[in-house]
Homo-oligomer: A and B are copies of this chain.
Amino acid sequence: MSSIEELRARLAEIDDLSNAAELLGWDERVMMPAAAAEARADQLATLAKVRHEIFSDGRIGALLEEAEPEPGTIDADLVRVTSRDWEKTRLVDSELRAEMAKASMVAERAWVDARRESDWVALLPHLERNFELARRFAACYERFPGFEHPYDPLLDEFEPEMSTAQMRTVLAELRDGLLPLVAEIGDPDDQEPDHFRGEFAAGPQRELMKEVLAELPFPEGSWRVDETEHPFAFSVGHGDIRMTTRYDEDNLAFGLFSGIHEAGHGLYEAGVDPELARTPLATLRSLGLHESQSRLLENWVGRDRPYLDHLLPLLAERFPDPFASLSLDRVCAAANRVERTLIRTEADEVTYNVHILIRFELEVELFEGAVTIAELPKTWNARYRDYLGLDVPDDARGVLQDPHWAAGAFGYFPTYSLGNMIAAQLFDAARRDIPDLETRIAAGELAPLGEWLREHVHRHGRRLTPAQILERSGCGELSAEPLLEHLRARLAIRAPSSGAAGGA
Contacts and interface: CB of A to CB of B under 8 A. Distances in A.
Contact of A33 (B27, B38, B54, B239): B239
Interface in A272-331: 277-278
B13 A23 contact: no
A229 to B, nearest CB: 17
Number of copies: 2
Contacts of A43: 16, 19-20, 23, 237
A39 B278 CA distance: 9
A239 B50 contact: no
Interface residues of A, number: 42
A21, A27, A54 — most chain B CB neighbours (10 Å):
A27
A91 interface: no
A33 B278 contact: no
Nearest to A17: B46
Contacts of A24: 20, 23
Contacts of A33: 221-224, 239-241
Interface string A210-222: 0000000001111
A36 interface: yes
Contact of A13 (B19, B36, B38, B46): B46
A12 B49 CA distance: 13
Contacts of A93: none
A165 interface: no
Given A40-B240, A237-B40, A47 B20 contact: yes
Contacts of A38: 238-239
A424 to B, nearest CB: 32
A34 interface: yes
A236 interface: yes
A62 interface: no
A35 B220 contact: yes
A57 to B, nearest CB: 13
A183 interface: no
A219 B16 contact: no
Given A36-B240, A39-B237, A236-B36, A16 B46 contact: yes
B34 A31 contact: no
Q: Is the interface of A mostly helix, strand, loop or mixed?
A: helix
Interface in A451-475: none
A220 B34 CA distance: 9
A263 to B, nearest CB: 14
A51 to B, nearest CB: 9
A32 interface: yes
A12 B33 CA distance: 21
A325 B100 CA distance: 65
A17 B239 contact: no
Contacts of A241: 33
A42 interface: yes
B39 A277 contact: yes
Contacts of A240: 32-33, 35-36, 39-40
Contacts of A50: 13, 17, 50, 54
Contacts of A31: 31, 224
Contacts of A223: 33
A23 B239 CA distance: 18
A240 to B, nearest CB: 3
A35 B223 CA distance: 8
Contacts of A222: 33, 35-36
A239 B36 contact: yes
Contact of A239 (B16, B39, B47): B39
B19 A39 contact: yes
A3 B406 CA distance: 37
Interface in A45-88: 45-47, 49-50, 54
Interface string A92-117: 00000000000000000000000000
A12 B42 contact: yes
Sorted from nearest, which 6 A-B pairs have the closest CB atoms?
A: A35-B239, A39-B237, A36-B240, A16-B46, A34-B221, A35-B222
21 contacts: A12-B46, A16-B46, A16-B47, A20-B20, A20-B21, A23-B23, A23-B27, A33-B224, A35-B221, A35-B222, A35-B239, A36-B222, A36-B238, A38-B239, A39-B238, A39-B239, A39-B277, A39-B278, A42-B237, A43-B237, A50-B54
Given A16-B43, A35-B220, 9 more contacts: A12-B46, A16-B46, A17-B47, A20-B43, A33-B224, A33-B240, A34-B239, A35-B239, A40-B237
